[in-house]
Structure 1
Amino acid sequence: MKSILGGLLIFLQLALITNARFGVLRYYCWAPHDEQSVFNLSVIIDEKQLTRAETNKRYRFTDWRYWQNGTYRNVRLESRSIENIKSIVSQFESTYGRDDHASVIMTYEINGGPTQTWQWPADQ
C-alpha cells in the first residue's frame, strides 16, 4: 500500500510539473526569462484611443529603452511569457475596468519572430 501511494504521489508530481512547464501559464515556472516579447497595446474606451502614457498607467506598465539597429526605441518589453501580459489585461478588464467596456488589441513579437495579434474581448 505504501508503494502504491508513493508511486501515485511521484506520478502526480511529474504530471503537474509537465503541465506547468508546457502549459499556457508557464511563466511562473523554472525559467521565467526564457522569452523576450516586444508588445504594443491599442486601448479604446468610448471611441477614444488611450495614449501610450494612459495605457501604461491603466495596466501599470513601463516603457523600456531598447537598442535596435543602431537606434534607441521606447518599447514595452516582457521578458517572461506573453501570456503574463494577456493575463494582466484580461484580469483588469474583467474586474476594475469592466464598466469601461474597453476594446484592447495587442500586437507582439516573441523572440524577434513574426508579429502576432491578440484582442480583448475575444469576441470582437
Structure 2
Amino acid sequence: MKVLVMYVDEFSYTPAQKNLESAEDVTETGTFTDSILAFIQVEESDEEHDIKSREKKLVNHLKWTARKNNCQKIILHSFAHLSESKASVDFTKEIFDLAETRLQNGGYITAQTPFGYFLDLNLKAPGHSLARIWATL
C-alpha cells in the first residue's frame, strides 16, 4: 500500500468523470478545512494479507499523521497513481470502509471522496514539517 498524506488548510472536490461503472452516481461536491488528506493506493500484494491487518496498518499511520499535525479530521481518497500495482476494486473499497469506521470509533471526523470517480481537486496545503508524508505500508 502506498500513501501520500497531506495536512490541508482547505480541500474541495467536484466529481468530474465516473470511471467505475459500478460506482454510485454522485454529483455533490465536498469542502473541508484543517484536515488530513490521504491519497491511498492499495496494491495487489496487499490482498495476500489479512484485510484487517492492512486496514489497521493504514489507520495507525493516519492517526500518527493526524497527531503530528494536531488534527481530528481525516479524508480518505483513492488514488491509483502511486504505484503500478493495483488491488481489486472490492478489496480496496473494503479497506477504505473499514478504516473509516475504525477512525470514527477512535473519535476522528472522517470522509471519503467519491470512489470510482475522477475528481476536480482544489487544495491549499502549508509548507511545514510533517505537512506532507509519503509511506509504503
The question of a shared fold, defined as TM-score above 0.5 by the shorter chain, is answered with no
More helix by share: 1
Structure-1-length-normalised TM-score: 0.31
Greater relative contact order: 1 or 2 (C-alpha under 8 angstroms, separation 6 or more)? 2
